């Protein structure tokens, strides 16, 4: 039995297997078809033609196309197969289509083959192709006028470009037949002309004395040249010359800051051309949206303004400046407003999740932290987004807070021109409550400030400092509870739990797992700035008005004289004022008292556009007048800038012990800060007075918002110097301190008196042993958020040097020389006076005469004193004082003694080498000087390409060749010579006092403002000849304490010093 069943089973399977192999491929059609059908025809002309191909051809059934199927809702077409073998098809309308009902139809088409046999088994379908069918229009309808009768009125004697416009429409769907191509006036001999747009104008000036009313007929033609079924009638009335309008107003209105209330139209009146009116309504609009954030407000920073208005501290900035501690705002687009405040742009796809805890100062704290007692405050600029639906909400902030009883939730959203606050006291049990406000500020695309106070069940919304009452809505569970997890998001909100479960499909879990990513929706599209929250305490109404209310706007205060039947309405932002009345004279009086007011002392200068729109109602609607719109502008003038003056001691010196003390040295101990305003004062003029306006300065009491102490020159070295300030005093007054090596700044609004007190405590301190040559500090202050700045007050501080006592041997020498000081002083005075007289009388000739006289009287025989020598010239710029600091004090004493005894040497001794002379004995070294005290004075000149040196002492002049290669040079007196090394590089150290000869001591004394040795009574400074003789007391007051000389073994001094 089994062997017989197997062949039968095999035979039954073979036909099926062969059939499956026959229909291998699906039919193929084009991906897209474009079709046209006429309104009066049902056949659709397709491009490309409808053909279906099958790779199974030419097999029967499998390679044939049995038909087409159309897919779409309410498709008024059907597809038929014309040839199964070729796959040709046709699309036709089921019934005549109407172009006016629908111009285009879009649907999909699919072809299918005949399968594997006549029963259509295993049929294969092609892909779906898109078909676009356009219905061609037929000119069925004639143009129809919108109105049967058109009326207008014109003033005589004028040519109008357009008196009125007639309009006709056509019911056809295509542009060819639905558009009106031209109009025609059918009445002949009329002084009017109509264009293709239906605008009627007069071809000649009409006169009221002639025809007062013109009547004519017009018709219209569409682009298919079909004429209107019914023509329209036009009536044009001619009126006498009169222009109803506002008269007696100025387009430009100037406002000086601090002027209070200024009338905008003090002399305005309405001209109605004797047309009786029974209702007048005028709207005055002041445009201030371009000034800062919507209007003129205080120019202080947000932090300073909160302090001035008495706002309580504790607010948390939810959108701070991006930084290491606030990185959640780093991905947002950042802008800056005119007042330099930070602005964030949300593009409808961005949101920020504020971290809870330390970063934002938020967390799941006590029950009243954010549950039912807080204030939200933010700036917003929002407009209606064109591509969003009217019902789609945009979330500003969304927050879920955990407290002792469970979770509470709130969100603030906008949709259209509505702003809604949803509050859920307890997610587990309580029902949500929704508060709704409809405000034009929400969707006008301008900046406005919003503050929301929640003290459940009371909720108050402030817009620009003005409170608005909500419409309370109880939600009966239609809103699904949000995710039970603490989170705070700005710019969007996360989806509800029910929506999340639906997205998960068959997942049986109903509780959201902590840590899962939140699905975000309801993104915000607009600008946000200054977003902060204060928990546990509400901002008062007075503080909110002080912070955010506009300081400028329209004002009306003359309610006492307001006539009967007059109404005045001012919007909350004071940018729109409406007057309504029925009497023209009363209306004129009321409009004359509309004023502009700006309460800021330093108002923002600029232009505020002004518009006056008037609507009237007449007893006769046909001849009712039309009042043209009035446009002007208010120019807020530049306010008189406050002049902040810093004054005090600009230079002082203190001992090193003061700088090294624990408190340092005060930089501004007697600082004075004054603030004044200079303004024009027009003096009284009479007939004989000819002058100009003067300026008067008034001292005012004002605040500062910052001061900076900076360094002129190098920055502070933290290892050796520092600037000190009392931190406790700053914190007590709420001021901020920034202290760097380059500057020190104090920021915060306070009075001038407080800033004076704090700056007088600023101190400069040096580490013990650190040298101070001179330091300059620059002080400047500002106010109104840096808008006005003070002068730069520079203080220079130096360290008063210490003058050591001279050695005993030098002291004895000074005592020995003191006996001849009076005679030497008298001689110097006589010589200097003689030089001065010669300079005035003889001028430049005095110099050569003086040299000739001195050289001939006391010069050596070999010295050249001929003034006529052309190769000899004097170089006054090289006058120097030379002292060798490398010698011991004893060798310098030898030089001094040798100079005093210069009469003992002869002329030949000058040519001998100094090393061949015997050393001085102790008696010679200690011998008192026998001649007038002086210093060797050098003066160089060039001759025969060699450098010569002229030296002068009490005995006379000496000359010696100065070789450029010689490292040392001996300047010789009559009996002794002093070695003087020449070094081209100066050293930075100063000359120590008491370690050199008398010349070194005097130079060191000139470097410091201290008492010199007793031997110095008069000083003569060169090269600015004639020699000026100074008493030491006067010289010490004249020379700057910072005056120093390079070391004596360095570069030469720029002058000559003579002492007695």
Q: Is 50 exceeded by the pLDDT of residue 228?
A: yes
Q: Which residue has the higher pLDDT, 939 or 584?
A: 584
> Which of 384, 389, 440, 432 lies closest to 409, judged by CA?
432
Q: Which residue has the higher pLDDT, 731 or 800?
A: 731
**Residue 671: which CATH number?**
2.60.40
Q: Is 50 exceeded by the pLDDT of residue 279?
A: yes
Q: Are residues 946 and 869 in the same domain?
A: yes
Q: Are residues 334 and 259 in the same domain?
A: no
Q: Are residues 824 and 973 in the same domain?
A: yes
Q: Are residues 983 and 1038 in the same domain?
A: yes
Please count the structural domains in the chain: 6
Q: What distance lies between CA 565 and its chain's CA centroid?
A: 49
**Residue 211: which CATH number?**
2.60.40.60
Give 162's pLDDT tier (boundaries 50, 70, 90). Answer: very high
Q: Are residues 414 and 341 in the same domain?
A: yes
* Residue 1002 confidence (pLDDT): 47
pLDDT tens digits for 287-298?
887 776 777 777
* Residue 273 confidence (pLDDT): 80
Give 828's pLDDT tier (boundaries 50, 70, 90). Answer: confident
| Structural tokens at position 978 | 């002093």
Cα distance between residue 472 and residue 485, in whole Å: 27
Which of 60-74, 429-443, 812-826 is predicted with the least confidence, judged by mean pLDDT? 812-826
> Which of 1044, 1047, 934 lies closest to 982, judged by CA?
1047
Is residue 186 in some structural domain? Answer: yes
Q: Give percent of the chain above pLDDT 90.
A: 20
Whether the Cβ atoms of residue 143 and residue 226 lie closer than 8 Å to each other: yes
Q: Is 50 exceeded by the pLDDT of residue 874?
A: no
Token look-up 């909110």 returns 544
Give 786's pLDDT tier (boundaries 50, 70, 90). Answer: confident
* Residue 570 confidence (pLDDT): 87
Whether the Cβ atoms of residue 187 and residue 178 lie closer than 8 Å to each other: no
Q: Is 70 exceeded by the pLDDT of residue 575?
A: yes
CA-based R_g, the chain, Å: 52
Q: What is the mean pLDDT of residues 994-1007?
A: 42
Q: What is the mean pLDDT of residues 782-787?
A: 82
Token look-up 């059609």 returns 29
* Residue 219 confidence (pLDDT): 96
Cα distance between residue 816 and residue 928, in whole Å: 6
Half-sphere exposure of 243 (CA within 13 A, CB side): 7
Q: Are residues 564 and 667 in the same domain?
A: no
Is residue 610 in some structural domain? Answer: yes
* Residue 700 confidence (pLDDT): 60
Q: What is the mean pLDDT of residues 374-385?
A: 85
Is residue 1006 in some structural domain? Answer: yes
* Residue 479 confidence (pLDDT): 65
Q: Could you tell me the end-to-end alpha-carbon distance of the chain, in angstroms, rounded to an integer?
A: 157
Q: Are residues 493 and 582 in the same domain?
A: no
Q: Are residues 110 and 30 in the same domain?
A: yes
Taking all residues of the chain, what is their mean pLDDT, rounded to a whole number?
Answer: 73
**Residue 527: which CATH number?**
2.60.120
- Among 748, 768, 800, the domain-final residue is 800
Q: Are strands 937-943 and 946-952 parallel, antiparallel or unpaired?
A: antiparallel
Give 984's pLDDT tier (boundaries 50, 70, 90). Answer: very low
Q: Is 50 exceeded by the pLDDT of residue 148?
A: yes
Is residue 355 in some structural domain? Answer: no
Is residue 312 in some structural domain? Answer: yes
- Among 117, 136, 155, the domain-final residue is 136
pLDDT tens digits for 609-632?
999 999 998 887 777 888 899 999
Q: Is 80 exceeded by the pLDDT of residue 775?
A: yes
Q: Are residues 754 and 842 in the same domain?
A: no
Query: How far lies 589's CA from each of 46, 105, 567, 580, in Å?
Result: 74, 64, 13, 12
Q: Are residues 274 and 168 in the same domain?
A: no
Give 213's pLDDT tier (boundaries 50, 70, 90). Answer: very high
Give 118's pLDDT tier (boundaries 50, 70, 90). Answer: confident
Q: Is 70 exceeded by the pLDDT of residue 207?
A: yes
- Among 752, 773, 800, the domain-final residue is 800
Q: Is 60 exceeded by the pLDDT of residue 675?
A: yes
| 3-state DSSP helix/strand/coil % of the chain, to nearest 5 | 15, 35, 45
Q: What is the mean pLDDT of residues 193-208?
A: 93
Is residue 14 in some structural domain? Answer: no
Q: Which residue has the higher pLDDT, 849 or 379?
A: 379
Q: What is the mean pLDDT of residues 97-107?
A: 85
Q: What is the mean pLDDT of residues 328-337?
A: 83
Cα distance between residue 580 and residue 585, in whole Å: 12
Range of the domain at 717: 642-678+696-800
Q: Is 90 exceeded by the pLDDT of residue 215?
A: yes
Q: Is 70 exceeded by the pLDDT of residue 918?
A: no
Is residue 986 in some structural domain? Answer: yes
* Residue 968 confidence (pLDDT): 37
User: How many other CB atoms are there within 10 angstroms of residue 925's CB atom?
Assistant: 16
Please state the length of the chain. 1060
* Residue 544 confidence (pLDDT): 82
pLDDT tens digits for 479-509?
666 777 788 899 998 876 544 444 444 343 3
Give 876's pLDDT tier (boundaries 50, 70, 90). Answer: very low
* Residue 969 confidence (pLDDT): 36
Q: Give percent of the chain above pLDDT 70.
A: 67
Element (DSSP H or E) covering residue 577: strand 576-581
* Residue 846 confidence (pLDDT): 58
Q: Is 70 exceeded by the pLDDT of residue 280?
A: yes
* Residue 855 confidence (pLDDT): 52
Q: Is 50 exceeded by the pLDDT of residue 979?
A: no
Give 358's pLDDT tier (boundaries 50, 70, 90). Answer: very low
Q: What is the mean pLDDT of residues 10-26?
A: 55
Q: Is 80 exceeded by the pLDDT of residue 286?
A: yes
> Which of 880, 892, 900 lies closest to 955, judged by CA?
900
Q: Is 60 exceeded by the pLDDT of residue 361?
A: no
Q: Are residues 947 and 1054 in the same domain?
A: yes
Q: Are residues 379 and 278 in the same domain?
A: no
Whether the Cβ atoms of residue 245 and residue 595 lie closer than 8 Å to each other: no
Is residue 88 in some structural domain? Answer: yes
């Amino acid at each position: 039995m089994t062997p017989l069943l197997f062949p039968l089973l095999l035979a039954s399977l073979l036909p099926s297997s062969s059939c499956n192999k026959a229909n291998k491929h699906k039919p193929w059609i084009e991906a897209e078809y474009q079709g046209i059908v006429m309104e009066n025809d049902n056949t659709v002309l397709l491009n490309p033609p409808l053909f279906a191909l099958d790779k199974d051809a030419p097999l029967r059934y499998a390679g044939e196309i049995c038909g087409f199927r159309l897919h779409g809702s309410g498709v008024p077409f059907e597809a038929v197969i014309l040839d199964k073998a070729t796959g040709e098809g046709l699309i036709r309308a089921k019934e005549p289509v109407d172009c006016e009902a629908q111009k285009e139809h879009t649907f999909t088409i699919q072809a299918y083959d005949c399968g594997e046999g006549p029963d259509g088994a295993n049929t294969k379908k092609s892909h779906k192709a898109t078909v676009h069918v356009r219905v061609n229009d037929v000119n069925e309808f004639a143009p129809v006028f919108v109105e049967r009768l058109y009326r207008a009125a014109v003033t005589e004697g004028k040519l109008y470009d357009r008196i009125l416009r007639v309009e006709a429409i056509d019911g056809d769907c295509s542009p060819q037949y639905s558009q009106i191509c031209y109009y025609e006036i059918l009445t002949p001999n009329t002084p009017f002309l109509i264009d293709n747009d239906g605008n009627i104008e007069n071809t000649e000036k009409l006169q009221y004395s002639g025809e007062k009313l013109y009547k004519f007929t017009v018709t219209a033609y569409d682009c298919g040249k079909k004429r209107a079924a019914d023509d329209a009638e036009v009536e044009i009335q001619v009126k006498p010359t009169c222009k109803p309008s506002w008269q007696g107003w100025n387009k430009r209105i100037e406002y000086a800051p601090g002027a209070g209330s200024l009338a905008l139209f003090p002399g305005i009146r309405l001209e109605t051309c004797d047309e009786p009116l029974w209702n007048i309504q005028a709207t005055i609009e002041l445009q201030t949206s371009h000034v800062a954030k919507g209007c003129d407000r205080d120019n202080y920073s947000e932090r300073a303004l909160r302090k001035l208005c008495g706002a309580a501290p504790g607010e948390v900035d939810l959108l701070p400046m991006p930084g290491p501690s606030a990185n959640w705002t780093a991905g947002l687009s950042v802008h800056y407003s005119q007042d330099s405040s930070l602005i964030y742009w949300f593009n409808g796809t961005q949101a920020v999740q504020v971290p809870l805890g330390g970063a934002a100062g938020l967390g799941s704290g006590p029950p009243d932290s954010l549950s039912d007692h807080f204030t939200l405050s933010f700036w917003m600029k929002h407009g209606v987004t064109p591509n969003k639906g009217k019902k789609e909400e945009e979330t500003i902030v969304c927050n879920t807070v955990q407290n002792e009883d469970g979770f509470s939730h709130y969100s603030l959203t906008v949709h259209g021109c509505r702003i809604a606050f949803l509050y859920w006291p307890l997610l587990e049990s309580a029902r949500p409550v929704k508060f709704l406000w409809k405000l034009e500020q929400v969707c006008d695309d301008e900046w406005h400030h919003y503050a929301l106070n929640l003290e459940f069940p009371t909720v108050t919304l402030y817009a620009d400092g003005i409170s608005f009452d909500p419409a309370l809505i109880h939600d009966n569970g239609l809103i699904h509870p949000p995710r039970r997890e603490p989170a705070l998001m700005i710019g969007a909100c996360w989806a509800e739990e029910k929506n999340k479960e639906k997205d998960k499909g068959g997942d049986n879990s109903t509780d959201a797992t902590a840590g899962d990513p939140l699905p975000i929706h309801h993104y915000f599209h607009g600008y946000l700035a200054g977003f902060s929250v204060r928990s546990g305490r509400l901002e008062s109404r007075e503080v909110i008005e002080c912070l955010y209310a506009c300081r400028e706007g329209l004002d009306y205060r003359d309610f006492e004289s307001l006539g009967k039947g007059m109404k005045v309405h001012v919007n909350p932002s004071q940018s729109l004022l409406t007057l309504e009345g029925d009497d023209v004279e009363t209306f004129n009086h009321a409009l004359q008292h509309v004023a502009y007011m700006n309460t800021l002392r330093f108002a923002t200068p600029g232009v505020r556009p002004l518009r006056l729109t008037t609507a009237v109602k007449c007893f006769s609607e046909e001849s009712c007048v039309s009042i043209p719109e009035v446009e002007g502008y208010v120019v807020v003038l530049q306010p008189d800038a406050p002049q902040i003056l810093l004054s005090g001691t600009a230079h002082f010196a203190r001992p090193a012990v003061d700088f090294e003390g624990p408190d340092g040295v005060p930089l501004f101990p007697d600082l004075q800060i004054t603030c004044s305003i200079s303004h024009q004062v027009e003096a009284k003029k009479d007939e004989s007075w000819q002058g100009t306006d003067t300026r008067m300065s008034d001292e005012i009491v004002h605040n500062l918002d910052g001061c900076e102490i900076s360094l002129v020159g190098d920055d502070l070295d933290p290892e050796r110097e520092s600037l000190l300030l009392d931190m406790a005093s700053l914190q007590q007054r709420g001021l901020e301190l920034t202290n760097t090596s380059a500057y020190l700044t104090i920021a915060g609004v306070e009075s001038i008196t407080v800033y004076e007190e704090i700056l007088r405590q600023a101190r400069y301190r040096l580490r013990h042993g650190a040298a101070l040559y001179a330091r300059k500090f620059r002080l400047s202050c500002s106010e109104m958020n840096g808008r006005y700045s003070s002068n730069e007050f520079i203080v220079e501080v130096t360290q008063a040097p210490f003058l050591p006592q001279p050695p005993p041997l030098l002291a004895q020498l000074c005592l020995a020389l003191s006996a001849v000081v009076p005679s030497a002083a008298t001689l110097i005075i006589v010589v200097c006076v003689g030089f001065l007289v010669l300079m005035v009388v003889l001028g430049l000739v005095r110099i050569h005469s003086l040299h000739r006289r001195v050289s001939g009287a006391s010069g050596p025989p070999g010295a050249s004193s001929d003034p006529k020598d052309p190769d000899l010239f004097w170089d006054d710029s090289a006058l120097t004082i030379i002292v060798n600091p490398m010698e011991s004090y004893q060798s310098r004493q030898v030089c001094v003694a040798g100079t005093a005894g210069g009469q003992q040497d002869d002329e030949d001794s000058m040519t001998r080498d100094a090393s061949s002379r015997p050393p001085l004995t102790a008696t010679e070294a200690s011998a008192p000087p026998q001649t007038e005290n002086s210093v060797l004075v050098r003066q160089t000149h060039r001759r025969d390409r060699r450098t010569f040196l002229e030296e002068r002492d009490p005995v006379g002049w000496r000359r010696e060749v100065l070789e450029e290669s010689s490292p040392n040079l001996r300047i010789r007196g009559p009996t002794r010579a002093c070695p003087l090394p020449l070094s081209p590089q100066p050293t930075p150290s100063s000359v120590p006092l008491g370690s050199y000869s008398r010349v070194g001591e005097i130079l060191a004394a000139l470097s410091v403002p201290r008492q010199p040795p007793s031997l110095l009574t008069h000083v003569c400074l060169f090269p600015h000849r004639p020699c000026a003789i100074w008493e030491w007391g006067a010289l010490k007051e004249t020379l700057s304490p910072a005056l120093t000389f390079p070391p004596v073994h360095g570069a030469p001094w720029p002058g000559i010093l003579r002492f007695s």
